[in-house]
Amino acid sequence: MKNFNFVYWRKMLFCLAWLFSFPALAVNCQRAATLIENTLCSSPELRWLDDNLQQRYQQEIITNPQVIWQQQQEWQKARDACVSNVCLQRAYLQRISGLSQADRSLKLEGSWWNKSAPNGNGGVLTFSRVSRWGYEMSATSWAGVNRVSLTGEGRLFYGISLVDNLQDARDCRILVIPRADGTLDVSSNSDYGCKIFVPQGIMLDGIYVRADSDPRPAASLLTLGIFPTREMDDRFRKLVGNDYENYVKTANSYAYSDDLDNQGATVMTLAVKGMANRKAALIRYTSSGKIWAMRVEPTPDNHLKFIYVTTEADKTMMPKTLSSWRQNFPG
């Protein structure tokens, strides 16, 4: 066994050394020295395309390091021959298409849903008037109660497309790449132009599938990882009854929190993006199956309603963890 581990790790170290011998070619704008580098760094769109390309390059070089590295070297020489931003844009789009192995035969017409969006988030792209040169696109994305709708035109380059003519969002860019598995790889310049127009928490990026309605399976507190076992999830379902789905809907954003009672319990806080101060929940449970939970939601007359449940016999005794959390919601 020891010999096996030695051989395994030696092979792993060799592979890592092999990959590191093919360094990335990303432009470092802190040290831009050439005319091309300064041109790239002066354009937010070109910097975004460079970042996008480097991510795909890092993914692909693992599959065939020597070939991908050689192709990248040749592409860089061609890129460096450019003397305009338009030329540089097309050079990047061509290389991104090649690295992504874009499926040029995939038909875009219709609606596509973001299957990789987290619980409580989502997105739909609808393509129409598709031609060999471009198309019209409408995009709707949401995160909790935050929502954005965009419309614009996309242009086709080398089997992929760039949406750079969005109404009321002129600096936002969206890259749409058809993949061999029939899905769309969508990315936006969320760190540059799109962040100005897209509400916080919303991501246009993701893997989209053609569908007439949301194709994602219904989430549960088990599939979200809030409960570690089906037994604990079933126990909570029995405890809260029909209110279970409200906890799932509240788990738009969720994270571990501290057990202020110092009893080794697991504590999770849940909240709806854009409404975290009015629609949230806390779940506390122990490995022995004890559960305490509280959920807050707004009432029709704009007050706050608190629902507290526990598996313990004394329903009036609230752990410090929950009572302290409750104080975050005055009124």
Does the pLDDT of residue 154 top 90, yes or no? Answer: yes
Please report how many Cα atoms fall inside a 13 Å half-sphere around the Cα of residue 27, on the Cβ side.
Answer: 26
Question: Where are the domains positioned within the chain?
Answer: 12-100, 110-210, 230-326
| pLDDT at residue 9 in the model | 53
- How far, in Å, CA of 126 to CA of 306, rounded? 40
pLDDT band at 25 (very low <50, low <70, confident <90, very high): low
| pLDDT at residue 275 in the model | 94
Q: Which two tokens stand for residue 53?
A: 């390309």
Percent helix, strand and coil across the chain, each rounded to 5? 35, 25, 40
Does the pLDDT of residue 106 top 90, yes or no? Answer: yes
Q: Amino acid letter at 177? A: I
* pTM reported for the whole predicted model: 0.87
In this predicted structure, which of 23-27, 45-49, 69-73, 102-106 has the lowest mean pLDDT?
Answer: 23-27
Q: Is the dihedral of CA 60, 64, 65, 66 positive or negative?
A: negative
Does the pLDDT of residue 26 top 90, yes or no? Answer: no
What long-range pairs does 321-327 form, CB within 8 A, spacing at least 24? 321/257, 321/258, 321/259, 321/260, 321/261, 321/265, 321/267, 321/282, 321/284, 321/292, 322/282, 322/284, 322/292, 322/294, 324/260, 325/257, 325/269, 325/282, 325/294, 326/294
| pLDDT at residue 14 in the model | 46
Q: Which two tokens stand for residue 116?
A: 């990789």
pLDDT: is 316 or 12 the higher one? 316
Question: What is the chain's length?
Answer: 331
| pLDDT at residue 23 in the model | 53
| pLDDT at residue 200 in the model | 79
In this predicted structure, which of 11-15, 92-96, 224-228, 247-251 has the lowest mean pLDDT?
Answer: 11-15
pLDDT in tens, 201-256: 898 999 999 999 999 999 999 999 999 999 999 999 999 999 999 999 999 999 99
Range 2-7 average pLDDT: 53
Does the pLDDT of residue 50 top 80, yes or no? Answer: yes
pLDDT band at 10 (very low <50, low <70, confident <90, very high): low
Range 195-200 average pLDDT: 82
**Percent share of the chain, pLDDT over 70:** 92
| pLDDT at residue 331 in the model | 65
Does the pLDDT of residue 194 top 90, yes or no? Answer: no
| pLDDT at residue 90 in the model | 96
Cα–Cα nearest to 198, from 263, 277, 140: 140
pLDDT band at 171 (very low <50, low <70, confident <90, very high): confident
Ordered alpha helix ranges (H), the chain: 2-20, 35-41, 44-61, 65-79, 85-100, 194-197, 230-240, 244-250, 320-326
What is the DSSP code (8-state) at residue 83? -
Give the pairing type, strands 266-271 and 253-257: antiparallel
Q: Which two tokens stand for residue 269?
A: 């806080």
